[in-house]
Amino acid sequence: MTTVFLNRYFFPDHSATSQLLTDLAFFLAREQGQVNVVTSRQRYDDAKAGLAPVQTVGGVVIHRVWTTCFGRGRLGGRALDYLTFYTSAAWRLFRLLRPGDVVVAKTDPPLLSVIAAPIARLCGAKLVNWHQDVFPEVASRLGVRGLNGAPGGWLRGLRDKSLNSADCNVVAGRRMRDYLLTRGVHAARVQVAENWSDGQLIRPLAAADNRLRSEWGLDGKFVVGYSGNMGRVHEFGTVLDAAERLRDEAHVVFVFIGDGNWRPWIAQEVERRGLTNFVFKPYQPRTVLRKSLSVADVHVVSLRPELEGFVVPSKFYGIAASGRATLFVGDPDGEIGRLVREFDCGRAIRQGDADGLANAIRELASDRRLRERLGRNARAAFEANWDKPIACEKWATLLAELTEFASRDAASESTSHANPL
């Protein structure tokens, strides 16, 4: 029995979903063996990367299929990249799968479940859909034309059918599970498995021991960090407004690490508003994450409230691993807002409440004991719930159970053919 993962990005790509898949695939290859990944030859930030078509790394056989290479810049080019990936990946998946195998389809590009479901059924394989987001709902709430009408309804119906045909749908949060249940997906086929981070790679590091702070000119500063994708699902107006309120407090500086659709706009706003308390840095290599995450005294995580139940910001788990408090901007009753309150590891502020965010920053900047306590709570919650070994073991158990059921089904079918009534 083989586990076959399906996702557009994989090792050595550094994007969040790729890192999660890389962690899990390498773990399963060590513990259970026989792991394949069907992916593209692209990187998240380099559509023309041209990675090797077939490669074995860490015991995982990587099948990188051909796609167009327009990248993420324009919607039309991205659509062609999606379409060619669907076609190439479907053919490769059909050739790889054998009866009793388990295929795990992620959600990049969207609606991979619709492609994987008939192929898995035809090949006698088990299907697990691993949801990092919910499409087309995310796109429609981001204003993509046509997805609120009949085309969107048709896509949702097609998607729902594929989810109900799966053996399991793994979702990243409770709100996502609740939404799928409202769509008629059977509760027995939905399981919550929160995302994770690597607690060995990312550990708390005191500011005084972090050379990166000196290299970036941050000694003596109270650093409010943002690390990761600055994408459309996030909201930055509240952060910029709070930064304006703190512009005369010279010890407070905002350090934004990463890239994304909103980054040029954020940089333009910083310049337009004359904010001198911002520093921008590119994505950092995974080997440097311990230092880059620990540069900040506190971190900002944001999510537009209308996207609760459809997306869960995975950057929260790395922040918790680094032993830093989270300032969540969005819906305080949403997925991350609930975790921040439940584990007392930060503050949840409503989108648009710039005064509330500025005051929370002032509170944590002036009270070292408070922010250290919140940071310890974050790390303790991480070690109990979101460390990589815990998450990977949960996945291993789930997949082993599916494989066991598949073996029983195959044995039962064999017996029934051998001993007809």
Which CATH number goes with the domain that contains 335? 3.40.50.2000
Query: Confidence class of residue 45 from pLDDT cuts 50, 70 and 90?
Result: confident
User: Could you give the CA distance from residue 265 to residue 61 in angstroms, rounded to a whole number?
Assistant: 40
Give the model's pLDDT for residue 149. 82
Are residues 135 and 249 part of one domain?
no
Name the residue with higher pLDDT: 1 or 228: 228
Split at pLDDT 50, 70, 90, the class of 240 is very high
pLDDT for the residue 408: 53
Q: How many other C-beta atoms are found inside a 10 Å radius of the C-beta of residue 329? A: 32
Based on the domain organization, do 285 and 216 belong to the same domain? yes
What are 32's two structure tokens? 């259970």
Residue 168 within a domain: yes
Rounded to an integer, the average pLDDT of 113-142 is 96
- CA dist 386 → 255, 332, 382 (Å): 25, 21, 5
117 shares its domain with 246: no
Residues linked to residue 256 through DSSP beta bridges, in sequence order: 226, 280
- Percent of the chain's residues with pLDDT above 90: 86
418 pLDDT exceeds 60?
no
Same domain, 166 and 40: yes
Find the mean pLDDT for residues 176-204. 97
Nearest in space to 321 (alpha carbons), one of 210, 201, 202: 202
Query: What is the reported pLDDT for 421?
Result: 37
Mean pLDDT (the chain) is 93
In the structure encoding, which two tokens stand for residue 261, read together? 């659709």
Q: How many folded domains does the chain comprise?
A: 2
Task: Answer yes or no: is 201 within a domain.
Answer: no
Please indicate whether residue 189 or residue 416 has the higher confidence score (pLDDT): 189
Asked whether the predicted pLDDT for residue 163 surpasses 50, the reply is yes
pLDDT over 70 percentage in the chain: 96
Instruction: Based on the fold, state whether residues 9 and 138 are members of the same structural domain.
Output: yes
| 282 domain-assigned | yes
Q: In sequence order, which residues have a C-beta less than 8 Å from that of residue 174 and are 6 or more positions away?
A: 192, 335, 338
| pLDDT level of residue 76 (50, 70, 90 thresholds) | confident
- Tell me the pLDDT tens digit for each residue of 312-354: 999 999 999 999 999 999 999 999 999 999 999 999 999 999 9
On whether residue 271 sits in a domain, the answer given is yes
Tell me how far CA of residue 13 lies from CA of 132, 158, 313, in angstroms: 17, 30, 18
pLDDT at position 151: 86
Per-residue pLDDT at 317: 97
Nearest C-alpha neighbor of 110 from the set 65, 167, 155, 68 = 155
Asked if residue 350 and residue 231 are part of one domain, the reply reads yes
Q: List all residues 6 or more positions away from 134 whose beta carbon is below 8 Å from its beta carbon.
A: 107, 176, 179, 180, 309, 310, 311
Torsion of Cα atoms, 305 then 307 then 308 then 309, to 10°: 160
Domain range spanning residue 139? 3-196+387-418
In a domain, 124, yes or no: yes
Asked whether residue 268 is assigned to any structural domain, the reply reads yes
- The pTM score is 0.92
Q: Is the pLDDT of residue 290 over 70?
A: yes
Average pLDDT over residues 276-288: 93
Residue 164 lies in a domain: yes
Asked whether the beta carbons of 127 and 166 are under 8 A apart, the reply is yes
Question: Are residues 240 and 328 located together in one domain of the fold?
Answer: yes
Please check whether residues 9 and 46 belong to one and the same domain. Answer: yes
Q: Which pLDDT tens digit goes with each residue over 94-123?
A: 999 999 999 999 999 999 999 999 999 999
107 and 253 both lie in a single domain? no
- Do both 48 and 119 map to the same domain? yes
Instruction: Say if 156 falls within a structural domain.
Output: yes
Shared domain for 309 and 375, answered yes or no, is yes
Cα torsion 172, 175, 180, 185: sign: positive
Q: Are residues 306 and 408 in the same domain?
A: no
